[in-house]
Chain A
Amino acid sequence: EPEVTQTPSHQVTQMGQEVILRCVPISNHLYFYWYRQILGQKVEFLVSFYNNEISEKSEIFDDQFSVERPDGSNFTLKIRSTKLEDSAMYFCASSGTENTEAFFGQGTRLTVV
């Protein structure tokens, strides 16, 4: 069964460093998403990506964040100058269309120390 894969599963980084979280969406999907879940809190939408550009982003997704689809398979989230409050689980998801089922990866747990 096709699945969304995320790497690494856990990343520890020092405050102020840059991190890149990687995702391989399901191969024939066209819509890609990043979400964040701070421990004990609800999932929050960060950004959606379609046709090689951002289609929507939330207030959380400020200049510290960027997304890229560097090739035909990977979808990355870059977080610059990480802060302690960036510590969270980051989920990538993909869907065939905007109104069909979105499949989530297992997440990357980011810990900023």
Chain B
Amino acid sequence: KNQVEQSPQSLIILEGKNCTLQCNYTVSPFSNLRWYKQDTGRGPVSLTIMTFSENTKSNGRYTATLDADTKQSSLHITASQLSDSASYICVVGNTGGFKTIFGAGTRLFVKA
């Protein structure tokens, strides 16, 4: 069964600290893996997208990694800011990337 599992479910960190969010997937055939940031009540905003051949992608303070062999990805946030408080969602695409499977997200709280 195609599944995307994220951990931790929630995370509290102090402003300025780094954190790493995890994503494991069993989606096959694999097309791409995306990380999104979703503020409460808003639409998801794309952070990174990686295809099979890519193992790292950066977007400012966000760095995503992908290990297609172990079917794991991580999202590393550097020097967190209060505005980073949101849900971070891992999304895996198959069959050409059209049909996407969403993880449940990690809820990140950044405190001053």
Contacts and interface: CB of A to CB of B under 8 A. Distances in A.
A82 to B, nearest CB: 21
A95 B93 CA distance: 13
Among B38, B45, B99, B105, the most chain A Cβ lie within 10 Å of the Cβ of B99
B89 interface: yes
Nearest to A57: B99
B86 to A, nearest CB: 14
Q: Is the interface of A mostly helix, strand, loop or mixed?
A: strand
Interface residues of A, number: 27
A99 B42 contact: no
B49 A99 contact: yes
A99 B91 CA distance: 12
A50 B96 CA distance: 12
Nearest to A54: B98
A31 interface: yes
Interface residues of B, number: 26
Contacts, number: 62
**Residue of B31, B42, B44 with highest tally of chain A CB at under 10 A:** B44
B78 interface: no
A74 B95 CA distance: 26
A43 B102 contact: yes
B89 A42 contact: yes
Contacts of B34: 101-102
Contacts of A31: 98
A89 B34 CA distance: 21
Q: Which 7 A-B pairs have the closest CB atoms?
A: A104-B43, A98-B97, A56-B98, A48-B98, A56-B99, A101-B46, A43-B102
